[in-house]
Amino acid sequence: MGFGCNACGVIGCRIIDSPRERLIAILTNNFVPCNGRFPTLIAIITMFFAGAASGAFQSALSALFLTAVIVLGVVFTLLISKLLSKTLLKGMPSSFNLELPPYRRPQIGKVIVRSIMDRTLFVLRRAVAVAAPAGIIIWLLANIKAGEGSLLAACANFLDPFARAMGMDGYILMAFILGFPANEIVIPILIMSYMASSCLTDFSSFAQLRMLFVSHGWTWLTALCTMLFSLMHWPCGTTCLTIRKETQSLKWTLAAVAIPSAAGFGTCFLVTSAVRILGLV
């Protein structure tokens, strides 16, 4: 379920009877890329890794790269789950028994109403609760001047040395931070930052977007580390609220933020260090 929405994936963990294993599943759900991260991954793959090909081969190459990213997320899910089960959440594994209920003819109207009222609106309310104040913060950072540039640019410059160690730049890291309400807005925020614009914008073609990124120092390593960090970083605001609701614990909510973030920071740093030592960039 996390491939659609990590918040829904967290709610789906209710089916697991064991509290320990349910918590492990909740904490590692964010390693599965949701629909909000797929556009970022597909755009970067198309611009920097599959763009040289043409026709059907380009589509096949893009699909291959995207599949590799997804498999990497699944591998990290299993590795972190194993690590948690041996450290913070020790315990005996339980068997999984699924009892099939008696078959009843579905009532279409009831299913639609329950899906909308009990699930869809439930998640959307939490999304609005996070997106509204975050949108105000983004607008203020982009419009309040700090010297010759915006406050957003000042924050990005402050983060730049740390981001460079991970193969990115301060604007990319700042876009991920401001993209906390929804992963879909990471790329628009990054474009707004690079163009020194005061509002979110978008490009109609990948060629134009690639030129903008390359003009700001992007290389294949930058693209790779941005993809890795997109795959492994803190959950979005809606997912965090859902984790808080499901676990009834601020501690485990913070752990759900810290675990993927640490994996993302560590992976990007190791990849960047290895590439630079080998002189590949």
- Which residues touch 23 (CB under 8 Å, ≥6 apart)? 89, 247, 252
Whole-number pLDDT of residue 271: 96
Q: What does the block give as tokens for 274?
A: 């290895």
Bridge partners (DSSP) of residue 145 are 150
Euclidean distance between CA atoms 179 and 141, whole angstroms: 13
Per-residue pLDDT of the chain (281 residues; tens, 9 = 90+): 889 889 889 998 988 888 899 999 999 999 999 988 998 999 999 899 887 666 667 788 888 999 999 999 999 999 999 999 998 888 767 666 667 778 888 788 777 777 666 667 766 776 677 667 777 887 888 788 877 778 888 999 999 999 999 999 999 999 999 888 888 888 888 888 888 766 666 666 788 889 999 999 999 999 999 999 999 999 998 899 899 999 999 999 999 999 999 999 999 999 999 999 999 87
Contact assessment for residue 168 and residue 175, using Cβ atoms and an 8 Å cutoff: no
pLDDT in tens, 63-79: 899 999 999 999 999 99
Q: What does the block give as tokens for 88?
A: 């913070």
Name the pTM for this structure: 0.85
Instruction: Give the other-Cβ count within 10 Å of 159's Cβ.
Output: 18
Q: What does the block give as tokens for 214?
A: 């390359």
Going by C-alpha positions, the residue among 80, 75, 67, 70 that lies closest to residue 34 is: 70
